[in-house]
Structure formats: C-alpha cells, structure tokens
Amino acid sequence: MATRQNSSNGKPKSPRVQVVLPEDLCARLTLLAEKESRTVSNMAKVLIQEGVNRLLSEQFQYQEKISNISKTDQFRSSLESRQARRLKGAPRRIRLYKP
C-alpha cells in the first residue's frame, strides 16, 4: 500500500510507492528518462499513468462490447417470446413524390 507523508507546511504529499526493478529494466528506464529530460521517478510515473489509462480504456471497451451484445440478446429474446399477430387491414401502397 502507498504511504502518505505530510510536507513541512502540513499539506499531505502525494502517495509514495517503492518498486524493485531488475537492472536491465532500470537501465532502460534511465535511458528513456534522459532522452526526454525527465527524472527517473517522473518517467516511471508517466509510463505507469499511460499503462493504467490504456488498460482501463481497453477494459471499458470490452465491457461496452459485452453490454451491447447482452442488449442485442435481450431484444432478440423479447421479440422471439412474443406471439405472432396478424396485421390489421390490407397493406397500403406507399407513393413516392419526386420533386
């Protein structure tokens, strides 16, 4: 769990998380940070934000697809459960007027 500290003026600081990285991953993260003129910590924060946002959007899209499929299934089953009924009167001819 992230730890939260207070600054010298009493305001709460951002939560802190400690992560242990393999040497090669840390080296690649350092190279990326230098390339973008960021600190390693800030680069890690940016990459984590992008990853979390991407995963959440993928999950939302998946949930939306499931929701649409279930709505379609509900509509289909409600139509299938109804009894067929006869149309009232003869079908009417539709006239199209050309301007």
**Could you give the CA distance from residue 96 to residue 94 in angstroms, rounded to a whole number?**
6
pLDDT at residue 19 greater than cutoff 80 = yes
pTM of structure = 0.55
87: tokens are 């149309």
Measured in whole angstroms, how far is the alpha carbon of residue 27 from the centre of its chain?
A: 30
Structure-derived torsion over alpha carbons of residues 26, 31, 36, 41, reported in degrees to the nearest 10:
20
pLDDT at residue 2 greater than cutoff 70 = no
**Could you give the CA distance from residue 6 to residue 29 in angstroms, rounded to a whole number?**
28
- Enumerate residues 6+ apart whose C-beta is below 8 A from 7: 13
